[in-house]
Amino acid sequence: MTLVLEEFLPYRFNRLAETLSKNASKAYQSEYGLTRPEWRAFALLGQKGTMTATGISHFSTMHKTKVSRAIYALEQKRWLVREVDEGDRRMARITLTAQGKKAYDRLVPMMQRMEKEMISRLGSENSKALFKGLAALEALYLEPENGK
Amino acid sequence: MTLVLEEFLPYRFNRLAETLSKNASKAYQSEYGLTRPEWRAFALLGQKGTMTATGISHFSTMHKTKVSRAIYALEQKRWLVREVDEGDRRMARITLTAQGKKAYDRLVPMMQRMEKEMISRLGSENSKALFKGLAALEALYLEPENGK
DNA sequence: TCTTGATAGTTACATTTTCAACGGTTACAT
DNA sequence: ATGTAACCGTTGAAAATGTAACTATCAAGA
């Protein structure tokens, strides 16, 4: 009995995830020097507005230490500010600065173009199948609150 | 203009890849103490028989240093042996030992059961769509020799 | 008030991964 | 032969990640 690695689903996902991410990272990596965790936290802040570190951690499925370090780096870049919540002083409300928003508005269209390009290269039938399959997997394996 | 992270394809792939891998690793992790790179190299050796480190690196899409260390760990476990190729003494031919093969024969069925279980939970229509989408993506983004 | 336990977030430490350089070998042109 | 470049695989150091412990704050009950 032999297992064919290139047909093994977890491996296929890892390989594709790595390839797609590497491809996507070109923009935020070279233009803005962001790491992947930084990009994720940043994208989430741009999408949702003010958040706490725990919120970012939850929605981005990154460990809180990773988030903590990403936030620190973005703060050094002056792309976000934190403000201790006076109602509960354990947490801080994190918001993009004007400078951060400007970068977001420049970066996001690039990322979206890239994604559109990829999907169009796939063709509508294949991409439809892909989305269907991904959605089904996510429904099975991801906590329901994620991505909501 | 705002990007919705949970709909962004590279992010979705990373999240799912992470989840599936974590799930799959339970078997080789807890039972045999293998890391992910070790599992990959091991699976490939079981599948293809004798290989060189470069070959493993190529087919597993892992960096050669990762492969080098994985091989070292598996050698310590006495699951494989190396033999310098006398035709080209730069490379070594790597082969599973009897003990390694035995572990392979015990581990692989567990992994396959796990994968089957996952696919059956998806349902035949969804999994069909998923495979179609994955195959299309792989055709676009992976070097043609990979996985052949 | 005082204790206990939970939560938000950071920090220290260990492990893993990446990057650059290296040693040894082969290929090939001069 | 000799020099040069390429290749296989390993190693050391730097960077990123994960794990566990920690600080500070809050919540709830005795």
The candidate with the shortest Cα–Cα distance to B52, out of B67, B30, B69, B73, is B67
Supply the CATH classification number for the domain A8-141: 1.10.10.10
CB A16 within 8 A of CB B61: no
- A144: confidence class by pLDDT, cuts 50, 70, 90: low
The whole-number pLDDT of residue A142 equals 84
pLDDT range class, residue A146, cuts 50, 70, 90: very low
- Assigned CATH topology for domain B5-141: Arc Repressor Mutant, subunit A (1.10.10)
**Nearest residue by alpha-carbon distance to C1' of C24:** B90
Distance in angstroms (rounded) separating the CA atoms of residues B129 and B148 = 22
Answer with the residue of higher pLDDT: A72 or A147. Answer: A72
Encode pLDDT of B91-100 as tens digits. Answer: 999 999 999 9
In chain B, what are the domain boundaries?
A: 5-141
Å: B53 CA to D2 C1': 31
Give the minimum alpha-carbon distance from A118 to chain B in angstroms, rounded to a whole number.
Answer: 9
A23 chain-B contacts, CB cut-off 8 A = 10, 141
Q: What is the pTM of this model?
A: 0.94
Can you give the pLDDT at residue B142?
84
Residue A65 in this model has a pLDDT that exceeds 90 = yes
Average pLDDT over residues A72-78: 98
Residue A42 burial by Cβ neighbours in a 10 Å radius (0-12, 13-18, 19+): buried
d(CA B125, C1' C17) / Å? 38
Task: List the structure tokens of B83.
Answer: 């033999």
From A123, A81, A118, select the one nearest A99 (Cα to Cα). Answer: A81
Q: Give CA separation, A123 vs A24, A40, A116, in Å.
A: 19, 27, 11
Q: Two tokens at B46? A: 């079981």
Q: Beta carbon of A108 within 7 Å of strand C?
A: no
Tell me what pLDDT residue A148 has: 30
Residue A128 has a pLDDT of 98
The span from the CA of A42 to the CA of A46, in Å, is 6
Of A15, A21, A112, the CB nearest to B61: A15
Radius of gyration of chain A (CA): 18
Distance between CA atoms of B136 and A106, rounded to whole angstroms? 30
The whole-number Å distance from A89's CA to D26's C1' is 9
For residue A36, the model assigns a pLDDT of 98
Residue B11 reports pLDDT greater than 90 = yes
Q: What is the pLDDT of residue A143?
A: 63
- Rounded mean pLDDT of B41-49? 98
* Long-range pairs of A28-31 with CB within 8 A, sequence gap ≥ 24: A28/A107, A28/A111, A31/A107, A31/A110
A-chain residue closest to B14, CA distance: A17
> Can you tell me whether residue A49 is helix, strand or coil?
coil
**pLDDT per position as a tens digit, B117-135:** 999 999 999 999 999 999 9
pLDDT at B147 over 60: no
Mean pLDDT across A101-121: 97
User: Using the CB atom, is residue B92 less than 7 Å from strand C?
Assistant: no
pLDDT band at B143 (very low <50, low <70, confident <90, very high): low
Model confidence pLDDT, tens digit, residues B60-77: 999 999 999 999 999 999
Distance CA A27, CA A34 (A): 9
Is A119 close to B10, i.e. CB distance below 8 A?
no
What positions of strand C are covered by protein, i.e. any atom < 7 Å from a CB? 7-12, 16-20, 23-27
The pairing of strands A92-96 and A80-84 is antiparallel
Contact by Cβ (8 Å): B7, A138: no
Q: Tell me the nearest-neighbour CA distance from B76 into chain A, angstroms.
A: 23
Q: Provide, in whole angstroms, the distance separating residue A60's CA from nucleotide C12's C1'.
A: 25
Nearest-Å Rg of the Cα atoms of chain B is 18
- Over pLDDT 70: what percentage of chain A? 96
Token pair for residue A97?
């600065």
**CA pair distance A33, A12, nearest whole angstrom:** 28
